[in-house]
Amino acid sequence: MDDGQILIVEDERLVAEDIKETLKELGYTVMGIVDNGEEAVESVREEEPDLVLMDIVLKGEMDGIEAARIINSEFDVPVIYLTAYADDKRLKRAKVTEPYGYILKPYRERELHSNIEMAFHKNEMEKKLKESERKYRAIFENTGTAMALIEEDRTASLVNQKMEELTGYPKEKLEGDMRWDEVVSDADLEKMRMYHEKRREDPESVPSRYTFTVINRFGDVRKVLAQVGMISGTKKSIISVIDVTEERRRFETMRESQEAFRNLFERCHDAVILIDQEGRCKEVNHNFCHLLGYSEEELSEKECTDILIKKDAEKLHELFHEMFKGEVKEESLVVTGTTKDDEEISLEGRFTSVTDVEGKPLYLIWNIKFD
């Protein structure tokens, strides 16, 4: 990376000027030379160099290691130590600041060049990684589903706000302080633990999508749908959870309603038929079958106008057209039908349109008086 802006921190002026000339020959730009730690930190804050070459022993109260520690914690600027000191105590302190290089004086030009280039490259990769982490963390935090990163010991190392809301526990409690199965109902606990273990042996051996029951901090029971996958090369898994409690309740209510309707449909004193938009016999009850002598299977293969005499069939076609267009909601009518034995029979009844939530006709109900 030629033309990188480099700050030299060196308290021996002749040495600093020699480093400056070497850097210029290598194609870099020296943005300044300072001789103490306080000025080094201030220069990084104001000038934002691309890299700092830092001596360890400096003038003033702040040495190079302390200056590098501050720069590392506050700024995204790589630091390379260029020093004559390599004793164990200083090396141990310097290591904590996570430098991008440690070059001993007298330095070699080739070594200096390679360390600088590696520092620039590493810093660029770290910036991209941090940007990627910020992007995916934003997705993780703002997704509409509860998500958690699960470790091999069943603790959660990362959770989002939706997971906090689902379980009722704060992030500080969920992350590393409790196992995820502490919120799983007893009925699902054995299954969930078995899935967790087997998934780490062979991810294909257990389902990646399933439902289980969560009992949150306040004792509320929630039915959830989970999607779980392993993170490649690790023993970690990531789980995405959707609360389907209300959907399940609506489903149960709908199912109970359908069963109630079916019971009423079958026990109704009238002969009843449901007619779809193609005019076919969608469903018929026992009384309708008995009235005309057909079985339910036989009637399901017919259009309802097939059981009428020709002129009434035409009349009914027109009525169906009007009702499915929404022009007519209800109509009482007497028509002549034909039984399975080709006997004509008077059918006196009422047609009613059944609509969806938007008022669009779904099918028709034909109630025929049955004695």
Could you tell me if 200 and 132 lie in one domain?
Answer: no
In a domain, 261, yes or no: no
- Give CA separation, 317 vs 186, 313, 314, in Å: 58, 6, 5
Alpha carbon 358 to chain centroid, angstroms: 31
CATH number where 43 lies: 3.40.50.2300
In a domain, 293, yes or no: yes
User: Which of 138, 168, 183 is the C-terminal boundary of a domain?
Assistant: 138
Could you tell me if 173 and 120 lie in one domain?
Answer: no
Q: pLDDT exceeding 90 applies to what percent of the chain?
A: 42
CB–CB of 45/75 below 8 Å? yes
Residue 244's SS3 state is coil
> Of the given ranges (78-82, 139-143, 314-318, 322-326), which has the lowest mean pLDDT?
139-143
In a domain, 260, yes or no: no
In a domain, 254, yes or no: no
Q: For residue 267, name the pLDDT band (cuts at 50, 70, 90).
A: low
Q: pTM of the full predicted structure?
A: 0.47
Could you tell me if 242 and 225 lie in one domain?
Answer: yes
DSSP code per residue over 194-229: HHHHHHHH-GGGS-SEEEEEEE-TTS-EEEEEEEEE
User: Which of 81, 115, 138 is the C-terminal boundary of a domain?
Assistant: 138
CB–CB of 318/312 below 8 Å? no
Q: For residue 78, name the pLDDT band (cuts at 50, 70, 90).
A: very high
pLDDT in tens, 201-260: 999 999 999 999 999 999 999 999 999 999 888 999 999 998 888 777 665 655 655 555
Q: Which pLDDT belongs to residue 1? A: 47
Could you tell me if 131 and 151 lie in one domain?
Answer: no
Range of the domain at 213: 143-247
Pair of tokens at residue 244: 């389907």
Could you tell me if 173 and 188 lie in one domain?
Answer: yes
In a domain, 124, yes or no: yes
In a domain, 253, yes or no: no
Could you tell me if 191 and 207 lie in one domain?
Answer: yes
